[in-house]
Chain A
Amino acid sequence: MAAPEPPPPEGSRPLSALLGGIAQAAFHGNAAVTDELLRGQLYPEAPPEEFRALRAKMGGLLQSIASADMDLNQLEAFLTAQTKKQGGITSDQAAVIAKFWKNHRTSIHESLINQSRWDNVLKNMNWRVDLKSQLRHIDQINTPVAIVEMEVGKNGQESEFLCLEFDEAKVNQMLKKLSEIEESMTLLTQTT
């Protein structure tokens, strides 16, 4: 029979913080959060091998939960199963993990999404409306045009700035296409 797990010292705060540290390292790419740092800060009294085991177990669980992007039902079933296993987790630990995932699910999922966006993304967009003066066959015409600046580039790489001019007709052309996209999106969210 395996040795029992060291009980979480003084309640759930260190475990919660440990999960936060693991998430920082695994999902948000924070290289500064090392195991040594976590042990020193959160479990200074724990023997290194026990800490390592705890960290590995929690890391594994969080990985499974994040990879499946579990909803509350899935999470409950998963954690309950973990409490029943040999060498699993305690129900206190399960509660801490559940609370952590509820609070951090969105941000962790977003990080995972960003990790898989390898093509150009729209980083930023600005616009203004100018009155363009044109001389056309002697007559002076003032037409309002929108000048749009779009910052486009790959994550973590230098951006390209696209500066485009849209007259009213072109804005309407754009709006028509954007409406089509919105329609498709609505259909998509209805069926998934």
Chain B
Amino acid sequence: MAAGSARALSQALGALDAGGAANKINLIPQDFFAELCEQIIHHLNHKIPGVNTAELCQRIQTSGIEINIGDLAKIANILSFLFSTAARNNLSTEELVTTLGSAVSTLPKHALQVIRHVWNEQGKSITAAEDARNVATVGQFVDMKWKLGVAMSSDTCRSLKYPYVTVTLTVADPSGQITDKSFEMTIPQFKNFFRQFKEMASVLETV
């Protein structure tokens, strides 16, 4: 391993040990940890727009493990950084695992096994995709949910009767975290919103 790579990797490893992230990884059952690593690799491969930490966290909590979403997000970021550093430095599975194991002694054995397996299977594909990485400064639209409601009455007006649309956008931010953003629109606002997207579509077609 070249000197530069060693430094880069130990930086990544340092991040792993910082704030006791390695200890928190201990909490996550092996199959969930494997799923997390897989999602991260798929994200680095541009196969998915982001890692759905909220959803994964909920499932882990449902299985009885007490982990908060902040910790899970941090672990996801560190692993993402670790994998992309390893990819950029073209590390083989053995190199990655050996360095990882000796530098981060607090990393649980099952986690090491998962990382070995995941890297062995899919590490190569990131190496190719790294060149394609577009430094995203904007979020990616993932999905949209909506509901149509009518506000009937309020404390200041007994006969409001105004229809409105509530929209929830699922967005992958540049670091890969998926979040929901909600907002309301009146009917005229909605019509304008719709019109703008139609215009976008026609411009995209002609470009």
Q: Which A residues form the contact surface with B (CB < 8 A)?
A: 66-69, 109, 112-113, 115-117, 119-122, 125, 127, 129, 131-132, 134-137, 144-148, 150, 152, 160, 162-168, 170-175, 177-178, 180-182, 184-185, 188-189, 192
Our pick among A125, A135, A164 for the contact of B141 (Cβ within 8 Å) is A164
**6 A-B pairs with the lowest CB-CB distances in the bound complex, closest first:** A144-B207, A120-B183, A112-B157, A69-B159, A116-B154, A136-B132
Q: State the Cβ distance, A28 to closest chain B Cβ, in Å.
A: 12
Contact A192 to B171, CB < 8 A, known contacts A115-B154, A116-B156, A162-B181? no
Bound CA span A174–B187, Å = 17
- Cα A128 to Cα B165 with chains together (Å): 24
B158 CB to closest chain A CB, in angstroms? 5
Beta-carbon contacts of B151-170 to A below 8 Å, as 1s and 0s? 10010111111111110010
Q: Is the CB of A174 within 8 A of B144?
A: yes
Interface bracket on B: 35 or more
Nearest CB of B to A113, in Å = 5
Q: Is the CB of A168 within 8 A of B204?
A: yes
Q: Could you tell me which residues of chain B, from 164 to 207, have a CB within 8 Å of some CB in chain A? A: 164-166, 169, 171, 181-187, 189-190, 192-194, 196-198, 200-201, 203-205, 207
Q: How far is the CA of A184 from the CA of B190 in the complex (A)?
A: 13
Q: Is the interface of B mostly helix, strand, loop or mixed?
A: mixed
Residue of B nearest to A149 (CB): B138
Whether A181 contacts B148 by the Cβ 8 Å rule is yes
Given A67-B156, A150-B183, 20 more A-B residue pairs with CB atoms under 8 Å apart are A67-B158, A112-B160, A113-B157, A113-B186, A115-B154, A121-B189, A132-B134, A135-B132, A144-B204, A152-B181, A162-B139, A162-B181, A164-B138, A165-B138, A170-B141, A173-B143, A175-B201, A178-B190, A181-B148, A184-B148
| Bound form: Cα–Cα A190–B192 in Å | 21
Q: Which residue of B lies closest to A179 (CB)?
A: B194
Which of B156, B159, B182, B204 is within 8 Å of A115, CB to CB?
B156
Q: Is the CB of A66 within 8 A of B157?
A: yes
Q: Which residue of A lies closest to B142 (CB)?
A: A170
Interface pair A129/B160, CB less than 8 Å apart: no
Nearest CB of B to A104, in Å: 14
Cβ of A164 to closest chain B Cβ, rounded Å? 5
Contact, CB under 8 Å: A188 / B163: yes
User: At the interface, yes or no: B128 with Cβ under 8 Å from chain A?
Assistant: yes
Instruction: Tell me the smallest distance from the CB of B174 to a CB of chain A, in Å.
Output: 10
Residues of A within 8 A of B161 (CB): 69, 192
Residue with the greatest number of chain A CB neighbours at <10 A, chosen from B144, B161, B171: B144
